[in-house]
């Protein structure tokens, strides 16, 4: 029963997000050129 309430609260929260986005536009996410995690075969930089 508790998980059902949490699920309903999450759905209501996500449904309310677009209403706030009109008043305060979210910052655009810039595309990332380099991956945050280096490849496994890359040498470690210290």
More confident position, 35 or 6: 6
Tell me how far the alpha carbon of residue 26 is from its chain's centroid. Answer: 12
Which residues does 11 contact at the CB level (< 8 Å), separation at least 6? none
Our CA dihedral for 19, 24, 25, 31, rounded to 10 degrees, sits at: -120
For 16, the enclosing helix (H) or strand (E) is: helix 2-23
**How many CA atoms within 13 Å lie on the side-chain side of 38?**
6
Which tokens go with 1? 């029963």
Segment 8-24 mean pLDDT: 68
pTM: 0.34
Tell whether the model's pLDDT for residue 29 goes beyond 60.
yes
């Amino acid at each position: 029963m508790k998980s059902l309430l949490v699920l309903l609260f999450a759905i209501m929260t996500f449904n309310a997000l677009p209403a706030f986005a009109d008043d305060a536009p979210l910052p655009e996410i810039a595309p990332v050129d380099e991956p945050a995690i280096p490849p496994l075969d890359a040498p470690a930089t210290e």
